[in-house]
């Protein structure tokens, strides 16, 4: 099976250049101008298009059991929708229930993901602590290619990890060469504010952002950054939505601390007003955590992306239909949290980023693919167009326009938070492991064709951190004898 892509402009994170790309058996075999087509190779003319590494969405939740229901998008439909949008890999989350063995949960999720059409990998959440968690973290890193562990500082009474859990888990991750990732919101404050609002009779979706104001995120971001700093552990903060957490990350990086940050396409473009919609269903459809923020926060997120404070973009793709959202009809705290985006992230980010002059095409590649590949240690297998890399590509047509709508999406959910948004620039073709899986509007995704991506431990920055920690000048005082002091 081979494909030759001709006449396109290759766009990597570091530079753009004109070259043809030849792929065979799932890999990129040649990147050179003027390649001749080998016998039997499928040929694609990419004239006028950019050829970029396929998107990596490092934050999705396919078929997640959550808040008393299960996300409507499964690994088949979700990865198919991803491919239709130019994303060729997802990193999803294994979330063990408190008390459940990490390995048990991991194998459950692996079974669910067998039907994926695009490549996938897993972060594993640490939601509780005992010796078995310590042990399973080691097994997951060594035998199963997990190199990141997730911690939820919110969702009290369910999957919340308190400071005690963080303090056990972070050093364990470091010794294994795995990166701790964190959902930063103060779960105690959320719980208090939810009860307070409900007592005041605020039961609708407008209670959601009021119970999770920006400072609730900022406090947790600051706290977890300090905890990680004291422990000497790099961390990755998921779905930053607020100026407060951007400031905390900025300050930490200025001090030399290894803190990475992600933001979601949704938070870049949607503001808090959606929760005050008179239509309960529309307001509830936007309930996700952290919530959408007042306008000033969106511009700060764009600045943090172009300024290098945040390194990755994701979607937190977690779909619940109207009937599922209705579980919180009388109580906003029971509305299942999550919104969709895996199909739209690339186009939305291109349109509002590159077309609006906020990002270069190379920065776009870094933010949608290469940086995630580097942080999660699968670079240069993923995240770059070069000989030897996986043939995960998107042929991007800057002229292509689409009005985003639930009517034309592949995502298995009855709502789209970008409904009615006209975007210019989109995937003409998506190629997954050397196979054309999306071509000019036609999805040819194959159930089960996606492969599990083993992510090795110890990206270079983890080794550097360990070395730095070894030089930490802890002090001991030499004493001649330890006898009880005598007074004369
Ligand atoms: O609302 C969200 N984000 N749902 C998924 C779980 C999480 O917090 O990432
Ligand atoms: Zn989260
Ligand atoms: Zn999430
Ligand atoms: Zn004496």
Q: 319-355, pLDDT tens digit by residue?
A: 999 999 999 999 999 999 999 999 999 999 999 999 9
Q: What is the pLDDT of residues 156-196, one digit of tens each?
A: 999 999 999 999 999 999 999 999 999 999 999 999 999 99
- Dist. CA 484 → ligand 4 center (Å): 10
Query: Using CA atoms, how far apart are residues 456 and 114, in angstroms rounded to an integer?
Result: 21
CB 59 within 8 A of CB 264: yes
Instruction: Give the residue, out of 288, 317, 334, with the most ligand 1 atoms within 8 A of its beta carbon, to mutate for a pocket test.
Output: 288
Query: Using CA atoms, how far apart are residues 123 and 9, in angstroms rounded to an integer?
Result: 33
Query: Using CA atoms, how far apart are residues 416 and 424, in angstroms rounded to an integer?
Result: 18
Distances (CA, A) of 437 to 20, 27, 414: 19, 15, 24
Q: State the pLDDT at residue 93.
A: 98
Query: Using CA atoms, how far apart are residues 290 and 470, in angstroms rounded to an integer?
Result: 36
More confident residue, 402 or 472: 402
Q: State the pLDDT at residue 176.
A: 98
More confident residue, 23 or 485: 23
CB 411 within 8 A of CB 319: yes
CB 145 within 8 A of CB 121: yes
Side-chain half-sphere CA neighbours of 386 within 13 A: 12
Query: Using CA atoms, how far apart are residues 376 and 371, in angstroms rounded to an integer?
Result: 8
Q: What is the pLDDT of residues 375-391, one digit of tens each?
A: 999 999 999 999 999 99
Neighbours of 277 (CB within 10 A): 16
- Dist. CA 483 → ligand 4 center (Å): 10
At 482, is the pLDDT very low, low, confident or very high (cuts 50, 70, 90)? low
The answer to whether residue 92 scores a pLDDT higher than 80 is yes
Q: Which residue is listed with tokens 């006209």?
A: 422
- Dist. CA 200 → ligand 2 center (Å): 27
CB 24 within 8 A of CB 433: no
- Dist. CA 479 → ligand 4 center (Å): 16
Q: State the pLDDT at residue 336.
A: 98
Q: Which residue is listed with tokens 């071509």?
A: 439
At 472, is the pLDDT very low, low, confident or very high (cuts 50, 70, 90)? confident
Starting from the CA of residue 66, give the closest ligand.
1
At 234, is the pLDDT very low, low, confident or very high (cuts 50, 70, 90)? very high
**Which atom of ligand 1 is found nearest the CA of 59?**
9
The answer to whether residue 356 scores a pLDDT higher than 70 is yes
The answer to whether residue 408 scores a pLDDT higher than 70 is yes
Instruction: Give the residue, out of 62, 337, 340, with the most ligand 1 atoms within 8 A of its beta carbon, to mutate for a pocket test.
Output: 337
Instruction: Give the residue, out of 78, 338, 341, with the most ligand 1 atoms within 8 A of its beta carbon, to mutate for a pocket test.
Output: 338
Question: Please, is 242 exposed, middle or buried when counting C-beta atoms within 10 Å of its C-beta (0-12, 13-18, 19+)?
Answer: buried
**Which atom of ligand 1 is found nearest the CA of 289?**
1
Residues framing ligand 1 (Cβ under 6 A):
61, 183, 288-289, 316, 318, 337-338
Q: How remote is the C-alpha of 275 from its chain's centroid?
A: 24
- Dist. CA 256 → ligand 2 center (Å): 26
What is the number of residues in the chain?
488
Which residue minimizes the CA distance to atom 9 of ligand 1? 316
Q: What is the pLDDT of residues 106-154, one digit of tens each?
A: 999 999 999 999 999 999 999 999 999 999 999 999 999 999 999 999 9
Q: What is the pLDDT of residues 453-467, one digit of tens each?
A: 999 999 999 999 999
At 483, is the pLDDT very low, low, confident or very high (cuts 50, 70, 90)? low
Mean per-residue pLDDT for 364-380?
99
| Tokens at 463, concatenated | 């080794």
Q: What is the DSSP string of 353-371?
A: IIITTSS-HHHHHIIIIIH
| Tokens at 160, concatenated | 């919340």
CB 61 within 8 A of CB 93: yes
- Give the ranges where 279-422 is alpha helix by DSSP (H): 280-285, 296-306, 322-325, 345-349, 361-365, 371-375
Percent of the chain having pLDDT more than 70? 99
Q: What is the pLDDT of residues 419-459, one digit of tens each?
A: 999 999 999 999 999 999 999 999 999 999 999 999 999 99
Q: State the pLDDT at residue 1.
A: 86
Q: State the pLDDT at residue 287.
A: 98
Establish whether this prediction's ipTM goes over 0.85: yes
Query: Using CA atoms, how far apart are residues 77 and 83, in angstroms rounded to an integer?
Result: 10
Distances (CA, A) of 336 to 186, 271, 329, 438: 18, 19, 11, 31
């Amino acid at each position: 099976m081979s494909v030759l892509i001709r006449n396109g402009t290759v766009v990597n994170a570091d530079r753009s250049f004109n070259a043809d790309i030849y792929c065979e058996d799932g890999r990129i075999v040649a990147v050179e101008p003027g390649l001749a087509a080998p016998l039997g190779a499928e040929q694609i003319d990419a004239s006028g298009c950019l050829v970029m590494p396929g998107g990596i969405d490092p934050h999705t939740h396919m078929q997640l059991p959550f808040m008393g229901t299960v996300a409507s998008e499964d690994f088949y439909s979700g990865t198919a929708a991803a491919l239709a949008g130019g994303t060729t890999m997802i990193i999803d989350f294994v979330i063990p229930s408190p008390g459940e063995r990490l390995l048990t949960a991991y194998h459950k999720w692996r079974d669910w993901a067998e039907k994926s059409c695009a490549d996938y990998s897993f972060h594993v959440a640490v939601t509780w602590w005992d010796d078995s968690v310590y042990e399973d973290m080691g097994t997951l890193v060594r035998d199963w290619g997990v190199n990141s562990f997730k911690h939820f500082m919110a969702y009290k009474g369910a999957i919340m990890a308190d400071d005690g859990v963080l303090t056990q888990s972070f050093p364990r991750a470091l010794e294994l060469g795995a990166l701790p990732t964190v959902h930063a919101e103060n779960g105690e404050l959320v719980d208090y504010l939810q009860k307070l609002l409900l007592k005041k009779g605020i039961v609708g979706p407008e209670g959601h952002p009021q119970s999770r104001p920006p400072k609730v995120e900022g406090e947790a971001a600051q706290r977890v950054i300090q905890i990680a700093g004291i422990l000497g552990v790099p961390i990755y903060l998921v779905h930053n939505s607020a100026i407060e957490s951007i400031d905390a990350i900025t300050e930490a990086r200025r001090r030399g601390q290894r803190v990475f940050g992600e933001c979601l396409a949704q938070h870049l473009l949607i503001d808090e007003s959606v929760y005050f919609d008179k239509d309960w269903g529309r307001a509830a459809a936007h309930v996700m955590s952290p919530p959408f923020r007042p306008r000033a926060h969106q511009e700060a997120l764009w600045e943090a992306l172009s300024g290098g404070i945040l390194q990755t973009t994701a979607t937190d793709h977690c779909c619940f239909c109207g009937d599922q959202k209705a579980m919180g009809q009388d109580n906003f705290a029971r509305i299942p949290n999550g919104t969709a985006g895996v199909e739209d992230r690339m186009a939305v980010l291109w349109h509002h980023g590159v077309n609006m002059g906020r990002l270069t095409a190379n920065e776009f590649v870094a933010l949608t693919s290469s940086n995630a590949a580097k942080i999660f240690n699968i670079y240069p297998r993923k995240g770059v167009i070069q000989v030897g890399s996986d043939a995960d590509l998107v042929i991007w047509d800057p002229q292509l326009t689409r009005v985003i709508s639930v009517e034309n999406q592949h995502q298995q959910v009855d709502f789209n938070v970008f409904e009615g948004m006209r975007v210019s620039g989109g995937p003409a073709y998506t190629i997954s492991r050397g196979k054309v899986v999306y071509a000019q509007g036609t999805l040819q995704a194959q159930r089960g064709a996606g492969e599990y991506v083993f992510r090795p431990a110890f990206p270079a920055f983890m080794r550097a951190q360990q070395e730095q920690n070894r030089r930490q000048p802890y002090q001991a005082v030499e004493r001649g004898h330890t006898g009880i002091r005598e007074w004369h």
